[in-house]
Amino acid sequence: MRVLLVHPSPLMYSEIYLRLEPLGLERVGAALRDAGHEVRLLDLQIFDRQDYLRELERFAPRAVGFSLNYLANVPEVLDLARETRRRRPACFVFAGGHSGSFIAAELLEHAAGALDCVVRGEGELIAPRLLEAIGDARLATLPGVVTAHGAGPTPLMLDNIDRHLPARDLTRRRHKYFIGILDPCASVEFTRGCPWDCSFCSAWTFYGRTYRQGSPAAAAEEVARVAEPNVFIVDDVAFIHPEHGFAIGRELERRGVRKQYYLETRCDVLLRNPEVFEYWQRLGLRYMFLGVEALDAEGLRQHRKRVTPSENLKALEVARRLGLTVAVNIIADPDWDEQRFAIVREWALSVPEIVHLTVSTPYPGTEIWHTESRRLTTVDYRLFDVQHAVLPTRLPLARFYQELVRTQAVLHRKHLGVAALRKTAAAAAGLALRGQTNFLRMLWRFGRVYNTERQYADHFRPVTYAMRPPPAPGASRPRPHDLYIHQAPTRSTSLP
Ligand code: B12
Ligand code: SF4
């Protein structure tokens, strides 16, 4: 069967700093190909709506599957699904992915028949079975599948994440994928899931707080096959178990693989296992992202980060000693006033790290979606991109954005301003000579993307699809299992 898989367009944040391959769709694509289907993938982070409509016409797929990892992409995907239904009424249209998994029934309601089903959870095992069941009443009985007529049992989880390794040849114009100066950059997954339970995050609820590791040999083979010189390791928390990191590294050394790497981890994991990060630094680790989230103990407690401010600061010292370029994230609360923004600006300028600021956003699937007592000020999915305020702001909204954009601009200038760029000028020139211009282009985009008026005006766009707000804002803390998409308790992993 001809199947077209589609990743929606980028959100604000990715318009500047990065663009990464749709790894989830490449994995689902691999599983479908293994089952004998003819698969194409279109990434709207790179291509546009016209390209999609052309592909629909020329490839004439029997089924189209949309990836909905991000809540902010919901209206775009619904519009595309409706357009697909209008142009090709017999086509089977489905959606899956992270955010889609938490709001399946709501999506089907909005789609008003344009979506045949929503798939909850991991797609590799269920996608081939889904296509087999097209036109059959069995569809609504498949694990994780939700249709207008009913929902199947709890979603399936991959027993072994080495199965269905990503079909990278499905993504076209791969030179467009990059993160900062790692241009071009591929993505790999060494582990899946996270054993922590931060209150603002849905990574753990999506995987039922499980944590799975791929085999070191398969992971290294996967990196060896990547054509790009740079690799983004997508694991939520890299090298929780240092022996796994060492084992992958040794396999890479044995194969003589040399790449530059970017990874994300937690401060306490870095403090506990500095040797594995030091080892990876020798293998080519260049960038590390640490989710600091808050500078004070109270903020960390609210996010349930299970780390202290002093551990965070110590971790930054360790990362500096390793000679890595470190980026950290701080969560801005809509309740912040001018002074709170000023404190963050001051701190950010006093440390050598790249500091990112995201706005606290309750997402379906997170604990704060239920416990946040402040009512949402918007039901526009597009604003749920951690760059807009969806809760009441203490400052007048326009003033809040002035402070936010001012702070973002200070942080941007610090690591991408003229002075900072002198250090990377040679590398940037080298990229330009090789025709890799993603990094260079991103330098000029800041003013167009982060813009007080634009962000403020975004709140007044007409809303076609109104999001379903949480049933009872400020409810007491739900039981973890009630948040999981796998309702039957999955075996949870204890904290390392
Ligand atoms: C890598 C990553 C990114 C990459 C995105 C790469 C890409 N093009 O997809 C980058 C760094 C760009 C990114 C950016 C952002 N991210 Co991000 N990201 C992740 C992360 C860590 C891993 C995703 C991944 O690749 N996993 C591995 C692959 C194999 O899994 P997968 O993509 O989920 O796909 C599987 C299933 O979802 C499903 N599936 C997926 N698509 C489809 C489609 C069909 C048809 C089917 C059947 C199944 C299916 O099957 C796949 C295989 O099992 C997740 C956390 C997580 N653990 O999921 C956060 C996460 C998805 N990101 C999040 C956020 C908030 C963001 C940002 C908005 C903000 C930010 N500062 O990070 C931006 C905006 C992105 C944008 N759209 O422009 C949130 C999502 C919030 C939400 N509910 O919308 C998450 C959950 C992190 C969190 N802490 O909560 N992100
Ligand atoms: S450690 Fe990271 S991935 Fe895990 S729950 Fe916390 S924020 Fe989410």
List per-residue pLDDT tens for the chain, 496 residues long.
Answer: 999 999 999 987 666 788 999 999 999 999 999 999 999 999 999 999 999 999 999 999 999 999 999 999 999 999 999 999 999 999 999 999 999 999 999 999 999 999 999 999 999 999 999 999 999 989 999 999 999 999 999 999 999 999 999 999 999 999 999 998 899 999 999 999 999 999 999 999 999 999 999 999 999 999 999 999 999 999 999 999 999 999 999 999 999 999 999 999 999 999 999 999 999 999 999 999 998 888 889 999 999 999 999 999 999 999 999 999 899 999 999 999 999 999 999 998 998 888 889 999 999 999 999 999 899 999 999 999 999 999 999 999 999 999 999 998 888 877 766 555 666 677 777 777 777 777 777 666 666 677 899 999 999 999 999 999 998 888 889 998 889 998 755 555 667 7
Ligand 1 lined by 24 (C-beta under 6 Å): yes
Distances (CA, A) of 305 to 206, 242, 316: 18, 20, 16
pLDDT score at 409: 85
Ligand 1 lined by 16 (C-beta under 6 Å): no
For atom 2 of ligand 2, which residue has the closest CA?
Answer: 236
Closest ligand to residue 161's CA: 1
* Ligand 2 pocket mutation pick from 98, 239, 266 by most atoms within 8 angstroms of CB: 266
Predicted TM-score (pTM) of this structure: 0.95
pLDDT score at 105: 96
* Residue of 204, 233, 207 whose CA lies nearest to 305: 204
CA quadruple 291, 293, 296, 300: dihedral positive or negative? negative
pLDDT score at 474: 83
pLDDT score at 441: 74
pLDDT score at 439: 73
* Residue of 299, 288, 293, 282 whose CA lies nearest to 265: 288
For atom 6 of ligand 2, which residue has the closest CA?
Answer: 198
For atom 8 of ligand 2, which residue has the closest CA?
Answer: 201
Distances (CA, A) of 328 to 293, 312, 319, 379: 8, 10, 11, 29
Helix (H) or strand (E) holding 347, with range, is helix 338-350
pLDDT score at 110: 98
* Ligand 2 pocket mutation pick from 98, 191, 194, 360 by most atoms within 8 angstroms of CB: 194
pLDDT score at 435: 78
The reply to whether omega before 462 is within 30° of 0 (cis) is no
CA gap 436, 298 in Å, rounded: 44
pLDDT score at 13: 63
- DSSP one-letter code for 167: -
Please say whether the beta carbons of 253 and 280 come within 8 A.
no
